[in-house]
Amino acid sequence: MDAAGPDAALAKLGACGRSPRTGYSQAKPPAPPLCLNQLQASVGQAFSLPGFCRRLLESSHPDRSFGTVWYSRATVMQSTSPDTARLEKDPAVIYALDRNLRIVYCNEAWDRFAAENGGRGLDRRHQLGRLVMDVIPMPLKPFFQAGYRKVLASRQPWEHCYECSSPTVFRRFQMVVHPDPGAAGLVVVNSIIVEQLHDDRERGICFPGEKVYVDTHGIITMCCHCRRTCRAEKTAAWDWVPAYVENPPEMISHSICGVCMSLYYPG
């Protein structure tokens, strides 16, 4: 997972989170897409338990030395509610945000995805209390900020599909952001809809090269969505360089390529 999780944290862990740095040695059969009505019903049942997120907030305390808010992991982990247990066992990566967009809950699938994709330090106990906007790459912040705020204001779900691939595995997720009926926050469900080995003929594999990808300032630019790398001399040309995905260079900057902008973030 990228330190971004939706580094997918998920890193893109879009929410997302942050992107994975390493992938599976072979593709898994894709999980069947979940019906939006099923997602809404499941999340509605799980978070209709009285004041779930409110109890999380009440269990928090200010840490003056860091000027932030940390949340009690025990409140989530020791819950015996069958509805909360349903979220814990759901294969989708699910997390909850308070009205200030701080992470107040992550389910087991978050930890599992982080562990399978080299996301050291991205386990959920280190994410509680963190602002989700802090882990979203700068070029995507306005898009996700607007989406989250729209759900908070309208109390209507918002859907978005995004790519979160590893060097070897192509993945596409469907993210559904639900208003939390039990508190003034959000519940974010990330369901994998495509998971397969990269098609080398379709994507093509390129190899690292300073003369090709390092600009005059010594910086390499990577798309924060598909993670392709921009050619230094041709800013409209982006290549799939798995080595940079697995081990990002120190001098790296994030932008978004024209294809991703058109397909995933139309203006």
- Residues 112, 222, single domain; the answer is no
Q: Could you read off the pLDDT of 47-94 as tens digits, one per residue?
A: 332 233 333 333 333 332 222 333 333 333 333 344 678 889 899 999
Confidence of residue 16 (pLDDT cuts 50, 70, 90): very low
Q: Give the pLDDT confidence score for residue 83 in this predicted structure.
A: 63
Q: Give the pLDDT confidence score for residue 60 in this predicted structure.
A: 37
Pairing type for strands 252-255 and 220-223 reads: parallel
Phi, psi for residue 84 in degrees, rounded to 5: -65, -40
Residue of 7 and 152 predicted with greater confidence: 152
Question: Does residue 253 form part of some domain?
Answer: yes
d(CA 24, CA 166) in angstroms, rounded, equals 8
Question: Does residue 164 form part of some domain?
Answer: yes
Decide: 136 and 127 in contact? Cβ < 8 Å. Answer: no
Decide: 166 and 181 in contact? Cβ < 8 Å. Answer: no
Q: Which residue has the tokens 């509680």?
A: 128
- Residues 229, 193, single domain; the answer is no
- Residues 187, 225, single domain; the answer is no
Q: Which residue has the tokens 């800013």?
A: 235
Give the closest residue to 84 by CA, choosing from 110, 106, 101, 99: 106
CA-based diameter of the chain, in Å? 59
Domain end among 146, 173, 197: 197
Residue of 203 and 178 predicted with greater confidence: 178
The three-state secondary structure class of 47 is coil
Question: Does residue 3 form part of some domain?
Answer: no
- Residues 192, 208, single domain; the answer is no
Question: Does residue 7 form part of some domain?
Answer: no
Beta bridge partners of residue 52, listed in sequence order: none
- Residues 119, 67, single domain; the answer is yes
Residue 23 sits in which domain range? Answer: 12-197
d(CA 213, CA 232) in angstroms, rounded, equals 5
pLDDT for 19 beyond 90: no
Decide: 9 and 127 in contact? Cβ < 8 Å. Answer: yes
What's 78's DSSP letter? Answer: T
Question: Does residue 17 form part of some domain?
Answer: yes
- Sequence-distant (6+) residues with CB within 8 A of 249 are 220
- Sequence-distant (6+) residues with CB within 8 A of 23 are 117, 165, 166, 167, 168, 169
- Residues 169, 52, single domain; the answer is yes
Structure tokens given for 138? 């700068």
- CATH number, residue 176: 3.30.450.20
